[in-house]
Chains A and B, each alone.
Chain A
Amino acid sequence: MSKDANVQGSMTKPPKQGWLYAPSPEATDNVRLAPRYELFVDGKFSAPASGKYFPTVNPSTETVIAEVADANEADVDRAVTAARRAYEQVWSKMPGKERGKYVYRIARRIQERARELAIVESLDGGKPIKESRDVDVPLAAAHFFYYAGWADKLDYALPGRRARSLGVAGQVIPWNFPLLMAAWKLAPALACGNTVVLKPAETTPLTALLLAQIIQECDLPPGVVNIVTGAGPTGAALVGHPGVDKVAFTGSTDVGKRIQRALAGTSKRLTLELGGKAANVVFADAAIDQAVEGIVNGIYFNQGHVCCAGSRLLVEESIHDVIVRKLKRRIEHLRVGDPLDKNTDVGAINSKEQLQKIRMLVESGVSEGCSIHQSHARLPGRGYFFAPTFFTGVSQSHRIAQEEIFGPVLSVLTFRTPEEAVEKANNTVYGLSAGIWTDKAAKVFWMSRRLRAGVVWGNTFNKFDPTSPFGGFKESGFGREGGAAGLLPYLEAV
C-alpha cells in the first residue's frame, strides 16, 4: 500500500499555522510494567504450558512494551477446569450478598488505581489519555459497581421467574476498549454467580492483566476469574471447550458468525456484540453546530475504533454544503499525535494491520470516485497514525458506505425526506447504533422507532453508561450489555 493512501493534498488549502500547543505529556513514572506477563489461572500467575510468549507493542512508538504468555489448548483447559471447580465448590454456593461484596471491591480498587490503568491503556492501545482517563477507566469501575449491587437482587431480573447462574463463561473481548470490555463481560457474569475465563485481545492484553492483579488483591476465590492471553487460536480453544456453558464475544461480525456456527448443536448459550455501520442522521432543523460536534465525536472518538461509531453521515440535502464546510474546518482543529499528551484528540491506530485495513478502504473510496477530505494535521514520524478523514459524494453501494472501516473515516450521504433517511439508515446488514439530530422531539421518536438499531442517540452520540443496555439488531449480534437486560445473558429461569 502506497503512502499516498494518506491523501493529504488535493483538498482544501492547509490552514495558516496558528498557535501551536506545547507538549503536555502525562507523567508515567508511577507506572511500573513488568517485562513479562504470565497467565492468570486459579488465582495465581503461571507460565503457559505452550512455553511461548508474544510481544505487545506501543502503537504510537512501534516499540515492544512487554511480552505476554501465549495460551494453548492445554492452558485453556487448565483455566476452564479451575473455573469449573470454583463454580461448583465456591461461587455458585455463595449467597448473592457476599458475591456482590467481592465485585464492589474490584470496582473500588479500579478507582484507586485509575490513573495507572488509564496510562497503560493509552500505552498499549494508542487511545488518547483524555479518553482512557475520562471514559474507559471510570466507566469500567462504574460497571463493576453497578453489577455488584445486582448480585443479591437477581430474581428481579426475570419477572415472575426465579433466576439461576449458568456455570462457566468463556469471554473473548476486542482491542478497542480493552479494560472497559473486560468490565462489561466480567461484572454481570460474576454478579450472576458464574465463573469466568476471559481472553483479552492480543494487541491490548496489559490492562486485563493489571485487572488480574487487582482481582488477586481483592482475594477473589481462586478460579472465579481466569485470564488467558493469546490470539485467535486461544479464543477458538476457549469458545470450543466442552466445559464452557456460556460464550460471550465482542469483535468482528466475521468471527462472530464463525463462533455461532461452531456452537450450533451444542447446549452452550451465546451472546455476540459485533460490528456496526451506524447512520448519524442530521435534519435541516437541527442545531447545526451541536450536530457538527456530534458528528466529530461520533466518528473520531477513539480513532473511530468503535463498533457503534457514526461512520455514515446522512445529511438532509439542503444543509449538506454548510455541514461539509464546517466539518472541514473542524477536523483541522483535531490534535493528532502522542496518546499520552493531555491535549491529544486523536491518538494512534491500534495496530499496523488495522492501519493497513483503513488505508485499503480509504483507497477504495478514492478509486470508486468519492471526494476525500482530510485534516492537514502533521502526523508523528513513528507509530501508526491516520489523519481524520471524510468522504463526500458517497453512494450506498460504495464499499466505504457498506463495510466497517473501524478508523477515523466518515462517509457522507444525503437524503431529502425522513422516509428516505430511514430507508438509507437501515440499508446495512448491521444494526448496532444510530444518531438523529433535529430540533423536533416528535421527529426524534418517529425516527427512533423506525431505525433498526439497538442504541439510538437523539441529539447526542457515543454515550455509554452501566445502567443503559447496549447491543445490536441484525448482524451486529444479540444480547445486551448494561442495565437489567445485561443480566439476562448470564442467567436462566429455574
Chain B
Amino acid sequence: MSLERPTDRSDAVGVTEEGLDYDALADLLGDSVVSREQHRHTEAFTIRPDEVQDVLFALRDQAGFDHCSNVTAQEYEDRFETVYNLKKYVDPTQELSVVVPTSKDNPVSQSAEPVYRTADWHEREAYDLVGIQYEDHPDMRRILLPETWKGHPMGLDYNQEKPQIVTLEAHANPLEDDEHDAGADTMYLNIGPHHPATHGVLHIETVLDGEQVAHVEPDIGYLHRCEEQMAQQGTYRHEIMPYPDRWDYVSAGILNEWAYARTAEELTDLDVPDYAQVIRTMSAELCRIAAHMLAVGTFALDVYGEFTATFMYAFRDREVVENILEDLTGQRLMFNYLRLGGVAWDLPEPREDFFEKVRDFLDGLPHKLDEYHDLLTSNEIFQLRCANTGVLDAETAKQYGATGPVARASGVDYDIRRDDPYGYYPELDWDVVTAEEGDNYARVLCRLQEVEESARIIDQCVDLLEDWPEDDREIQSNVPRTLRPDDDAEIYRAVEGAKGELGIYIRSDGTDKPARFKIRSPAFSNLQTLPEIAVGEYVPDLIASLASLDIVLGEVDR
C-alpha cells in the first residue's frame, strides 16, 4: 500500500541492476530464438511456431514473466505473426515481446494457453479476426464474431462486401454430453444478451444445478464495433483520439485517451509539457472517480434491487464529476480532450471558479464516501452476501491477466501508474490500494478506497495548477502536422485505466496511419475470470461476481 515498488524477484533469469539482460534471456532460450529485433518499448525474440509453449514456460518459470499482457495477431504480405507482450507483475517495466511467425499457407502455431490461461480468449480473438490457428488450444472457436461468420475481417484478403448470415445457436447445453444420468437435474439458462444484470449486451451461458452454478461461459461480441479496424483507418494526429472514448464508455474516456496518447507519443517521440501532464493527471483521475462510482452503484443495483438508494447516490455524486469534466472538456462522456503532445485546451476561464468547483467536490467527498460505507460496506446483509463469494486468488488472477481493482483486491500489488510511471503520477503522493481476500466485498472496498486516492491526486494537481506561473502554461508541445512514425516500428504501451491495464499495440508502416492497432482491454481479461469465481456459487452470487468485475462491454468487445 505505498508508492514503493515491491521488491523484485532477483533470482529470475536476466534481472540485473541496470534492467533486463536480454542476452541472458536469449541464452536461457537457446536455439529456440530464431532472431532478435528491437521494438520501441522492449526487445523482441522471434521463435518457431512449434516451440511456443517451451519458450513461454521457460520465460514464465525461470525468467519470471508471469503476466501475458497482450496477444496481437497480424497478417503481413508474406506471413502471419502472433506477438505475445510479456511483463512481470512485480515490475511491468521488465518487458519482452515474443514474436511467432507462421507461414501464409499453413497459419498454425502452438497455443500459449497452457502457459497463460489468459491466452485462451486472446488467441480465440486472433483466430477470429486474423485467422491464425492455434494448436493445442482447448477451445478454438470464434469469440467476437458469430460462429457462422465467413472469413477473418482483419486478414488482408478479407472481402468486406460479402453479405453474412448470422444465426444464434441457442439452447445448446455444454454439459449435455457429461450427463450420463438421464435424471440429472441441471438446467441450461441464457443470462443475457438482454438481461438487467449484464451491464450491456453480454450473454452468459449458464448451467444450473438447482440454484447453484455448474457451468458458466461468457459469450461476448455483441458490442463489437471494429474499433481496431477503425483506428487503423485514421491518421495518428487527430483521427484516432475520438475512438478511445468509446471503449470504456462510462466516463473513463480520458483514461482511455491517455492509453492512445502515451503509445503514440512514445512511438513518434513527442514530449508532453509538464503543465499538460498535470491537467491530464487531474482529468484522468476525475474520470476514474466517475467510473468507480458507476461501478459501485451498479454493483449495489445487482445486490440490492432496482430501487436502491446507493445507485442514485452514486449517480448523484458522479454527476458532479461529469459537470466538472464538462467544464473542462466540453463533453460529458465522449471527451476527446487529450491531444498527442498535450491536451486540447487549457482550463476554463475563470480558473478560480473551476478550482473552486473541484475543491467543493473534493471537500464533500469524504462525507459522501462515509455514506457509501454506511449503506454498503458496513451493512451486515451486504457483508453476508459479498464476503467470501466470488473468490479470486492471486495466482489465478495473474494466470488470467487480471489487472486493476480486480487484481488488486486479490492481493496482486500491480498498478501501472506506480510501476511503469507516466504522466505526473511519480511526483505526487498517493497510495496503491490492495486487499488480500479477493472476494466481491474486497473488490467493492478497493474501488471505494481508490476513489479516495484519486481525490488525493486531484487535490495535489489542483494545488499545482493554481500556483502554475501564467507564462509557463504550455498545453501542447510542438507536434508536426502529419505524424509518420518509422517504417515497421512496433510498440506496446499501457496505462492504468479504470478497469485495469489498458494497453495499445501499434505497428507502423511508414504512413500516417497505423498498420496494426491492437487494444488490450482490461475488462476483456477480467471477464475471463468469471467462470473461476462463479462456478459453484449461487445464481445471485454469479450476478454479484459479474458486477464486481466491473466490465464495460464496449471495452470487452471493442
Do A and B come together as binding partners? no
Residues of B participating in the A interface, judged by any CB pair closer than 8 Å: none
